[in-house]
Amino acid sequence: MPPEPSVPASTTPLQDYLDLPARGANEDYLVVPRSLAQSMPLRWQQVFVGLLADLHDAYGDLPWPDYLVVASRWELLVDLDEEQLAAAGYVADLGPDGELEYRDSADQVVPDPENHRVLAPVTDPLPPASAGRIEPRPAEAL
């Protein structure tokens, strides 16, 4: 077995991982669905709780706000209903020529709505924490 390297592969492993396309992560936040976290094996939960406790202990003096997490997905503007449009900051209405036009929050017409993607709220596809344990997919055979 080769010796352990004395220098870690990276000094920013969490950033490196989250900079890749990672579920529940964007440039500023990492969201971990509670139902999935509570469904992890016991040892994983114990380690995760320890990490969260360390995080909260180290940064507990900062003025943490409450967060509202909304399940969202990148969708084409033309595929959204009125409620989704409003939540994403857009409106659809008939323009002066009688055609449907989309406007953004600055009241500017969106020039190509058929190809314009926006982050829109969707029904959360993951079960809530109250649903109980969520079985993970079976491991692949060796």
pLDDT tens sequence across 2-54? 666 666 678 999 999 999 998 999 999 999 999 999 999 999 999 999 999 99
pTM for this entry: 0.74
pLDDT at 135: 85
Segments making up each domain of the chain, as ranges: 13-67, 72-121
Q: Are strands 100-103 and 91-94 parallel, antiparallel or unpaired?
A: antiparallel
pLDDT at 139: 77
Task: Encode pLDDT of 78-132 as tens digits.
Answer: 999 999 999 999 999 998 999 999 999 999 999 999 999 999 999 999 999 998 8
